[in-house]
Amino acid sequence: MVNDSAKIRVENLKAWYGQREVVHGISFDVHPNEIFGIIGPAQSGKTTLLKTLNRTLEFTSGSRMQGLVEMDGQDVYNIKDVYGYRRRVGMVAPLPVGLPLSIYDNVAFAPRSFGLKDKDTLDELVQKCLEQAALWDEVKDRLDSLGTKLSGGQQQRLTIARALSHQPEVLCLDEFSIAIDPVTTMKIEDVLMELRESMTIILVTNLIQQARRLAKRTMFLLNGDLVEEGDTEKMFSGDAANPKTNEFVSGAFG
């Protein structure tokens, strides 16, 4: 059900790569300051959906979308300042992609690109983002070291810090824990629960129980179709409206 007060509103969204339609007319909304979960097996359209939300699908040759995507009631595909819009929607990919720069410069790169030059302000922002990503205490004495020399889990948290440096209103995470250990995963989950106070979070996850721990509402996609969307606990307690949802969350397929 869509909501006029939604942070993100999507209606009848379709997406194609060439002639292949991968998202088939889905509608949903994401409320302000919630963690909204998206689950489903591979090739369900989850990553494509995120790319339509932050307008990076258009980077892929031959791709196109149809339908309505709104943020705060504004059609994001009618926004003239696309770069400004993308700064409002942070994105964290499944595998950490560190820039070949120092830890400090990884986080400061985007703010500098957007015109922030004052060193004291940059220092404060870098520290804040690293603290929010639960990484500051581990790297504060080696900020000049290469970010690519960090462990995998630390690099993923650096990726989150870099996404936060845009000071986004919406943070999209695409299976962020796919390549990191359970301890680091739990650290990041704690971070997300805190970040929810200041932003809206959309969480694509391949870990069923992660969605159950974090998301207030969850959407189940299957082969590009929206099977079910609603209260997470109800969906995961065996009381889902659609039998396919019960089968998926119980591990019958995936």
- The answer to whether residue 79 is domain-embedded is yes
User: Over the stretch 178-211, which tens digit does the pLDDT of each residue have?
Assistant: 878 888 888 889 989 999 999 999 999 988 899 9
Pick the closest to residue 204 from 188, 184, 179, 221 (CA basis): 221
> Residue 124 in 3-state DSSP?
helix
- The answer to whether residue 51 is domain-embedded is yes
Cβ(205)–Cβ(39) below 8 Å: yes
Q: Which residues pair with 222 in a beta bridge?
A: 225
- The answer to whether residue 241 is domain-embedded is yes
Domain that includes residue 126, residue range: 8-249
Any residues with CB less than 8 A from the CB of 97 and at least 6 apart, and which? 159
- The answer to whether residue 116 is domain-embedded is yes
The confidence band for 4, taking pLDDT boundaries of 50, 70 and 90, is: low
Cβ(205)–Cβ(37) below 8 Å: yes
> Structure pTM?
0.90
Give me the CATH number covering residue 217.
3.40.50.300
Residue 94 is encoded by which pair of tokens? 């499944």
Cβ(235)–Cβ(244) below 8 Å: no
Lowest mean pLDDT among 64-73, 93-102, 115-124, 168-177: 93-102
1, pLDDT greater than 50: no
Pick the closest to residue 126 from 89, 97, 161 (CA basis): 161
Residue 115 is encoded by which pair of tokens? 């015109």
- The answer to whether residue 141 is domain-embedded is yes
User: Over the stretch 24-60, which tens digit does the pLDDT of each residue have?
Assistant: 999 999 999 999 999 999 899 999 999 999 999 999 9
Separation of alpha carbons 70 and 66, rounded Å: 13
> Residue 216 in 3-state DSSP?
coil
Q: Strand locations in 135-249, DSSP E?
A: 170-174, 200-204, 217-222, 225-231
Question: How crowded is residue 18: how many other Cβ atoms within 10 Å of its Cβ?
Answer: 10
Separation of alpha carbons 173 and 200, rounded Å: 11
Pick the closest to residue 135 from 84, 190, 175 (CA basis): 190
Separation of alpha carbons 111 and 121, rounded Å: 10
- The answer to whether residue 222 is domain-embedded is yes
- The answer to whether residue 103 is domain-embedded is yes
- Calculate the average pLDDT of the chain: 91
- The answer to whether residue 129 is domain-embedded is yes
- How many structural domains compose the chain? 1
